[in-house]
Structure 1
Amino acid sequence: MSLGDEHGSRGDEGGYGGTGQTRTRLPDGSGDVYGGARRTGRSSSRSLVTVVGVVVLLIAAIAFANRGGGDSGSGDDSGERTDTSPTAASGQRPVEAKTGGIPSGFAHDRQGAESAAANYAVALGSTGMFKKDSRHEIVETIYTSAAANKIQGPMDDAYSATFLSKLGLDADGDPPQGSTFVSRTIPVGTKVQKYTDNSAKVAVWYMGLIGMSGDGSTDPVSSTWKTWTFDLQWSSDDWKITTDSQKDGPAPVPGDNTAATSDEISKAIEEYGGFTYAR
């Protein structure tokens, strides 16, 4: 259950470690550990991307305007939609209930399973996973009782004091004074691989952020791209995880953005909250 397998996760077998990362070698000589050197500019490429983006938006707007009045079909268990259909907005309101701060009460259909998987990926990629009490609460909330009982012990072993120290955290999962530990999962899309009335297999493609933001940080916040696959079961009137696994990618080509300073990252983490994900 991690953003990656670098920090004690199990990779494709279903990893522990909360969140992993890909390390990025930053330009030497910058005044901040997050770097400050801009990569060679590609103004012509950016102009082309802008034009293409406008065209795509126009096409999408036209398609939306000419859309038929029938039901979109997402959320209909009996529909003929293929398992590999792309994630698309359906107008369905996201769940409003929460259990332990985590969205709950998902619809008993394919769309509900996708929303559950996306929100569970966010919870498992959060900083709460690095503290024992909150980690136990997260696991007990989103896994079936049998699965939670099976993995709590191994998870506690994985999030050992030694592991936490490698991330710059103390034994309780707290960062040094004046530093901000960052760990977030940002779902990009979901895909139903299998679905029955009582079970579902859903893949979540996501970008992860992890690292320490602070003046003395040697592990700056970096991004990683992975796919998290969840086996879900309909249990106690909600979707719950029975097993999960991860794999790397697909990762896009890095852009031309200049790396932010540690202060900018810390401020952004404090000011920008997360989302409740729904189709």
Structure 2
Amino acid sequence: MSRSDGHGYGDSAHADDGPYAGGQTRTRLPDRPGDPYGGARRGGRSSSRSLITVVAVVVLLIAAIAFANRSGGRSPAAGGGGTADKPKAAATAATGKQPVHTKTDGLPSGFAHDEQGAQSAAANYAVALGSTDMFKKGTRHTLLDLLYTPDAAARLQKPMDQAYSADFLNRMGLDADGNPPTGSTFVSRVVPVGTTVQQYSDSSARVAVWYVGLIGMSAKTSTDPVTSSWKTWTFELQWSRGDWKIVSDSQKAGPAPVPGDDRAATSDEIRKATEEYGGFTYAR
């Protein structure tokens, strides 16, 4: 498992070419100095012709406003007396429902037996599986037993232990038990951006979680600073023992937005933010 695979738990899929993969930004330069749109300069127009154009635009605007007021804001397709359909909520809009009312070993549990419950479960499971607990054998086994079906947990335990080998942990700057050096803070977080249901039935669901991940070592002398990555984590869920459980999961890179011009924080700022800002229980 490489450094870039820090959040690649489960059966990772190959990264698909996203809309930003290999993209290039083209900037059109002006054809002539002083022309910001790069177009050819046009000859001068008379002031009278410009005045006529302005007057025509104003008349059209007044006519449009009068027509809108006369029609009472009705859509032409709504028919007499009816109102247009209200815009539907966006796919990532929150419902306002509480995701769960119980926790097991500090983790949300008892999700609703519906599509919203499956989405909430997937988002919270991604957060748990993307945490620093996965880098310690004891807490990793606990997470597998809590979040996966019994068969899946038994199947994954040995491969997971092999993936989080002493060599891998050493490359992440951790000791064999998954602990960072004294004075350093290891960061591993998954922050869901949105979820979508790709398939659903009363007994199973396929839910994809789009997220941004943070991983790295916060230390003054760290050669592996905290970086961010954008990925999509897809969970195959099964309704088992009164809750949603993971049967299998896979990841792919992106979609990643264009990076902004944010100033990179210092190691000390990242350490303080990690200690001061806690996580959330995610609801669909």
Query: What's the CA shift for 1:2?
Result: 11
Q: Secondary structure at the match of 1:223?
A: strand
Q: Distance in 2 between matches of 1:3 and 1:197?
A: 38
- Retained in 2: the 8 A contact 1:3–1:226? no
Gaps of 5+ in 2: 16-82
Aligned residue number for residue 176 of structure 2? 171
Q: Distance in 2 between matches of 1:168 and 1:136?
A: 21
Alignment coverage as a number of residue pairs: 215
Query: What's the CA shift for 1:94?
Result: 2.4
Q: Among residues 135, 144, 151, which one is paired with 2:149 in the alignment?
A: 144
Query: What's the CA shift for 1:116?
Result: 0.1
Aligned residue number for residue 77 of structure 2? none
Q: 1:122 to 1:244 in 2, by over 3 A?
A: same
Q: Secondary structure at the match of 1:186?
A: strand
Query: What's the CA shift for 1:11?
Result: 2.7
Q: Deviations over 1:166-222 (max 9, x none)?
A: 000000000000000000000000000000001000000000000000011000000
Query: For residues 26-41 of structure 1, what are the structure 2 equivalents within 5 Å?
Result: none
- Retained in 1: the 8 A contact 2:99–2:117? no
Q: Distance in 1 between matches of 2:102 and 2:3?
A: 26
Q: Among residues 238, 242, 246, which one is paired with 2:251 in the alignment?
A: 246
Gaps of 5+ in 1: 15-65, 75-84
Q: Among residues 151, 157, 166, which one is paired with 1:161 in the alignment?
A: 166
Aligned residue number for residue 117 of structure 1? 122
Q: Distance in 1 between matches of 2:103 and 2:192?
A: 19
Aligned residue number for residue 101 of structure 2? 96
- Retained in 2: the 8 A contact 1:3–1:125? no
Aligned residue number for residue 52 of structure 1? none
- Retained in 2: the 8 A contact 1:7–1:163? no
Aligned residue number for residue 260 of structure 1? 265
- Retained in 2: the 8 A contact 1:130–1:173? yes
Equivalent pairs: percent with the same residue?
Answer: 67
Aligned residue number for residue 67 of structure 2? none
Q: Distance in 2 between matches of 1:151 and 1:7?
A: 16
Q: Which has the larger radius of gyration?
A: 2
Q: Distance in 1 between matches of 2:163 and 2:279?
A: 26
Amino acid at match of 2:236: D
Query: What's the CA shift for 1:241?
Result: 0.1
Aligned residue number for residue 20 of structure 1? none
- Retained in 2: the 8 A contact 1:4–1:226? no
Q: Distance in 1 between matches of 2:269 and 2:202?
A: 46
Query: What's the CA shift for 1:122?
Result: 0.2
Aligned residue number for residue 193 of structure 2? 188
The farther-off stretch of 102-111 and 86-95 is: 86-95
Query: What's the CA shift for 1:93?
Result: 1.4
TM-score (norm 2): 0.71
- Retained in 1: the 8 A contact 2:8–2:251? no
- Retained in 2: the 8 A contact 1:13–1:245? no
Q: Distance in 2 between matches of 1:246 and 1:8?
A: 6
Amino acid at match of 1:173: G
Aligned residue number for residue 11 of structure 1? 12
Q: Deviations over 1:201-260 (max 9, x none)?
A: 000000000000001100000000000000000000000000000000000001111000
Q: Distance in 2 between matches of 1:240 and 1:68?
A: 38
Q: 1:137 to 1:195 in 2, by over 3 A?
A: same
Query: What's the CA shift for 1:68?
Result: 9.0
Q: Secondary structure at the match of 1:258?
A: coil
* Structure with the larger RCO, 1 or 2 (CA within 8 Å, 6+ apart): 1
Q: 1:3 to 1:100 in 2, by over 3 A?
A: farther
Query: What's the CA shift for 1:261?
Result: 0.5
Q: Distance in 2 between matches of 1:203 and 1:2?
A: 23
Query: For residues 122-141 of structure 1, what are the structure 2 equivalents within 5 Å?
Result: 122-141=127-146
